[in-house]
Amino acid sequence: MTGFSFDAVAAILFIPAGAAAVLATMPNYRMTAAVNVAASLLTLLAALSLFVTERPAPGQYLLIDDLNIVFIVLNTFVGFTTSVFSASYIGHELETGRLTAPNLRFYHAMYQIMMFGMNLAFVSNNIGLMWVAVELATLTTVLMVGIYRTHEALEAAWKYFILGSVGIALALFGTILVYMAAQPVVGEGTNAMVWSVLIEKAAHFDPALLSVAFIFLLLGYGTKVGLAPLHAWLPDAHAEGPTPISAVLSGLLLNVALYAVLRFKLLLAANPQAIGPGPLMVTMGLTSLIFAAFMLYRRRDIKRLFAYSSIEHMGIIVFAFGMGGPLANFAGLLHMVMHSLTKSAIFFAVGHIAQVKGTQKISEIRGLTESHPGLGWALVIGVVAIAGLPPLGIFMSEFLVVSSTFARHPWLAIPLVFGLLIAFGALLLRLTGVAFGEPRGGMAPVEASYVPMYSHLALVFAAGIYLPAPLVAWFQHVAGILG
Amino acid sequence: MSGLTFDIAHLLAGSLVLISFMMLYQDRLFALINVFALHAVVLALSVAWQAYIQDAHHLYITAGIALVFKAIVIPVGLHRIIQRLGIHRDIETAVGIGPTMLAGIGLVTLSMVLMLRVTPEADPLAREDLAFALSIILLGLLVMVTRRNAVSQVVGFMSLENGLVLAATGAKGMPLVVEISVAFSILIAFIVIGVFLFRIRERFDSVDVGALDDYRGERR
């Protein structure tokens, strides 16, 4: 950089925060949608610049390392594509009168505050700050889930609020316990909450206290990841809010909570006497996978169907990270990226489908590939991808998870494969009904923005065929860090 | 640490657990809110005492927030909301009072056994604070799951949060305590405003949180 130093971390935080302030004062919805897209693009560029600019030394509050760059880039990328999708989706909602202009101003400002909260959670080096950031991101999504003010939307938002708050309270208690464990070793004050200091000294912490802390953190942040049996908020929040929010909830917010769990898992792994975090995560992951796989069969609402599918996939990811080791961690990371891209693409398609058909009921949507080929085939590709069929990216990551499980704990592979097959069957069953056959429901042509969904699907497809070597090297390196 | 300062801290934290128990058997909303206000006052005293013995002046701010916001503003606000919404009748508890009390005793035992066992080396004051705090958190959760009414769930959540503040102030020298208590106050303000603005009573036929499953035809 010539002359002035470009601070990418500050840019990642200040662009969304500044944009939120600007958006809150702008009256015109077309303009706010455009500004929202522009701000998201700028944030994405700032995130990408993290690869090339020099990293700041870890401070008391902020940290950039190889692990969180992956999360930040994924977060800002999906944030950007969702803002493009949101612009066309929201226009339609305004025409049909489901949302009003003041609603939209609020919505766009909240969108940027949510991006700010998520980015802050990723770059924070301080476990207290991370907690505050996750809380902020949660609060904004609660407000957006309830934005339609219908009976169901309010009830979904309320449920999300209460369960999310309980989760966040448990996570705070865990955070306090980590501080208590660190305090005798690191000393009083801010340093005992700085993650990069904690990880260096974790071997000397009281193992029992650290273990109990992790259980609270896993339950607390696990509520936000949507792990069964703490998932009850997730399907309602996905189904009743605006679809762009369903996309960011599934694609991004779940990852934020997962990232928090991973950071604390590393802390625990650094202490040889503490309980192994692996078995706990493997158990919760498998429970979520199998539970969600069975729940997929009974869904009547298309957005709830894919919400349960998110629980299933977060289960797989947590399972993979719980297994640990270079291969399973690699698979978990890859699966997380692929799931974020695919699931948000599916929600983009579902959003337009629900608008054009005027319903979210699966039984009232038929023959999409005939009536709306663009949307229908996007949904087909998306569901084929999410069900784990080759040659798409999720097949590869699921294959890696299964094969690494077979290599190390063959008994665990049986429930894993069982859950995957059950979910696979449910998704394909629903897909054939929705995508093929005699068209039913609204036939109006749709003004959809195809670019976001097809670009996501293209990435997933490309990843299934060929992963570039630098990317593989990077992921292997991060998988190594995760231990 | 001299015996008296320890005893006073112990007394205050122990009273918080007792008041949490009192919440379990309140069957009228107004009474529940009054008990909660008492809870917040005792919390404020406890935090102020910690601020005094740890010589940590920033904790007085947390104590002030607890006193003004949680013991006065929120209870008064909730009283008005209840009158506006016309729900000042009995609380429908989902589980009977007897089993609830037994469950509460079980939870307190659990947290004592757990916390005292895992923290043998910690400072005795912090250690007992932590055990009491976990009891209060679990009792708060119990209030939330045994009530099906939005307002009493909020009260349960706030008592749970009081437990967290107690734990955070008991951990000596913990940074960000004030910031976290402010963040929590904002969260609670949002919840209360949400109950009021969205007229959870008026717009829903019941404040029963379990109703949405029926609505979607997916009763589990």
pLDDT at B203: 39
Residue of chain A whose Cα is closest to the Cα of B111? A212
Average pLDDT, chain B: 81
B112 interface with A at CB cutoff 8 Å: no
Q: Looking at residue B94, what is its pLDDT? A: 67
Asked if A155 lies within 8 A of B150 by C-beta distance, the reply is no
Q: Which among A146, A155, A166 is the nearest to B211, CB-wise?
A: A155
What chain A residue is nearest to B188 in terms of C-alpha separation?
A165
Average pLDDT over residues A210-230: 90
| ipTM (interface pTM) | 0.87
Q: Using alpha carbons, select from B164, B156, B200, B155 the residue that is nearest to residue B184.
A: B164
Contact call for residues A430 and A355 (beta carbons, < 8 A): no
Selected residue of A176, A191, A273, A305 to mutate for chain B interface (largest B Cβ count, 10 A): A176
CB contact under 8 A, A155 and B190: no
What confidence tier does A215 reach under pLDDT thresholds 50, 70, 90?
very high
Residue B19: pLDDT band (50, 70, 90) is very high
Mean pLDDT computed over B184-194: 79
Least confident of A137-141, A324-328, B205-209: B205-209
Among A294, A281, A289, A292, residue whose Cα is nearest residue A328: A281
Q: B66 to chain A nearest CA, in Å?
A: 17
* pLDDT tens track for B29-39: 888 999 999 99
B contacts of A300 (beta carbons < 8 Å): 216-218
- The sign one gets for the Cα dihedral A282, A283, A288, A293 is positive
Do the Cβ atoms of A458 and A308 come closer than 8 Å?
A: no
Mean pLDDT of B120-143: 86
> Residues of B with CB below 8 A from A169's CB?
137, 157, 160-161, 164
What part of B 136-155 touches A (C-beta under 8 Å)? 137, 141, 144, 150, 153
Of B134, B187, B204, the CB nearest to A135: B187
Predicted pLDDT of residue B170:
83
Pick the more confident residue, B44 or A103: B44
Residue A52 has pLDDT above 90, yes or no: no
How many beta carbons lie within 10 A of that of residue A407, not counting itself? 12
B144 to chain A, closest Cα gap in Å = 9
- Residues in B closer than 8 angstroms to A268, CB to CB, are none
Residue of chain A with shortest Cα separation from B217:
A300
Token digits of residue A273: 């006497």
Of the candidates A23, A75, A10, the residue with the CA atom closest to the CA atom of residue A44: A75
Q: How confident is the model at residue A77 (pLDDT cuts 50, 70, 90)?
A: very high
Kindly state the percentage of chain A with pLDDT values over 70.
99
What's the rounded mean pLDDT across residues A221-245? 89
Residues B28-52, mean pLDDT to the nearest whole number: 92
Which pLDDT value is given to residue B92?
Answer: 65
CB contact under 8 A, B171 and A193: no
Domain assignment present for residue B220? The answer is: no
> Environment class of residue A251 by beta-carbon count within 10 Å: exposed (0-12), middle (13-18) or buried (19+)?
buried
Give B34→chain A minimum CA distance, Å: 22
Question: Which residue from A154, A173, A211 is facing B167, i.e. has the nearest CB?
Answer: A173
pLDDT tier at A5, thresholds 50, 70, 90: low
User: With 90 as the cut, is the pLDDT of residue B200 above it?
Assistant: no
Determine, yes or no, domain membership for B119: yes
Tokens 């990843």 map to which residue? A463
The alpha-carbon gap from A195 to the nearest alpha carbon of chain B, in Å, equals 14
Position B204 in a domain: yes
Q: How far apart are the first and last CA of chain B?
A: 55
B134/A173 touch (CB, cutoff 8 Å), yes or no: yes
pLDDT tens-digit map of B63-112? 998 899 889 998 998 888 888 777 766 566 667 788 889 999 999 999 98
Residue B45 pLDDT grade (very low, low, confident, very high; cuts 50, 70, 90): very high
Q: Which domain holds residue B70?
A: 3-215
Closest-CA residue of chain A to B155: A162
Kindly determine whether residue B204 and residue A298, on different chains, have CB atoms separated by under 8 Å: no
| C-alpha separations of A281 from A102, A183, A272 in Å | 43, 26, 17
CB of A313 closer than 8 Å to CB of A334: no
Any chain A CB within 8 A of the CB of B217? yes
Task: Place B198 in a pLDDT band, splitting at 50, 70 and 90.
Answer: low
How many beta carbons lie within 10 A of that of residue B9, not counting itself?
22
Q: What pLDDT, on a 0 to 100 scale, did the predictor assign at position B220? A: 41
Q: Cα–Cα distance between A324 and A342 in angstroms, integer?
A: 24
Question: Model confidence over A400-430: pLDDT tens digits?
Answer: 999 999 998 899 999 999 999 999 999 998 8
What's residue A271's pLDDT?
87
> Contact B118/A206, CB-based, under 8 Å?
yes
Task: Copy the structure tokens of residue A216.
Answer: 């609270």
Task: Write phi, then psi, for A390 (nearest 5 degrees).
Answer: -70, 160
Task: Measure CB to CB from residue B173 to each of A156, A169, A188 and give the nearest one.
Answer: A188
Residue B43, in any domain of the structure: yes
Tokens 């009921």: give the residue. A361
Nearest to B171 among A149, A154, A183 (CB): A183
Task: Give the number of C-alpha atoms closer than 13 A to the C-alpha of residue A388, restricted to the C-beta side.
Answer: 21
Please enumerate in sequence order all residues whose Cβ is within 8 A of that of B189, keeping only pairs 6 or more positions apart, or say none.
none
Residue A258 CA neighbour count, 13 Å, CB half: 36
Query: Is B48 part of any domain?
Result: yes
- B153 belongs to a structural domain: yes
The band of B1, judged by pLDDT with boundaries at 50, 70 and 90, is: low
Q: CB contact, 8 Å: B193 with chain A?
A: no
Number of domains in chain B: 1
pLDDT at A388: 87
Interface test with A, best of B129, B180, B201 (most A CBs within 10 A): B180
Picking from A296-305, A465-474, B19-28, B167-176, which range would have the lowest pLDDT averaged per residue?
B167-176
Q: What is the DSSP string of chain B?
A: --HHHHHHHHHHHHHHHHHHHHHHT--BHHHHHHHHHHHHHHHHHHHHHHHHHHT-TTHHHHHHHIIIIIIIIHHHHHHHHHHHHT--SB--BSS-HHHHHHHHHHHHHHHHHHHHHH-TTS-HHHHHHHHHHHHHHHHHHHHHHHB-SHHHHHHHHHHHHHHHHHHHHHSTT-TTHHHHHHHHHHHHHHHHHHHHHTTHHHHSS---GGGHHHHTT---
Interface probe for B, chosen from A165, A168, A178, A195 (most Cβ of B below 10 Å), is A165
Residue of B nearest to A158 (CA): B209
Q: What is the average pLDDT across B164-191?
A: 82
Closest C-alpha among A362, A317, A327, A159 to residue A241: A159
Q: What is the pTM of this model?
A: 0.90
Residue type, B197: L
Place of tokens 């190889």: A66
Question: Residue B166: inside a domain, yes or no?
Answer: yes
Average pLDDT value for chain A? 88
Residues contacting residue A224 through CB under 8 Å, at least 6 positions apart: A134, A138, A164, A167, A168, A253, A254, A256, A257
From chain B, pick out residues whose CB is under 8 angstroms from the CB of A298.
Answer: 218
Which is nearest to A444 in space by CA: A148, A104, A92?
Answer: A92
Looking at residue A1, its pLDDT comes to: 38
Surface of B (157-176) touching A: CB under 8 A: 157, 160-161, 163-164, 167-168, 171-176
- Supply the pLDDT for residue B41: 95
Query: Do residues A113 and A139 touch, judged by C-beta distance below 8 A?
Result: no
What would the mean pLDDT of B154-173 be, rounded to a whole number?
A: 87
The yes-or-no verdict on residue A272 having pLDDT over 50 is: yes
Question: For chain B, what's the residue count?
Answer: 220
Distance from CA of B191 to the nearest CA of A (A): 8
- Across the range A56-78, mean pLDDT stands at 87
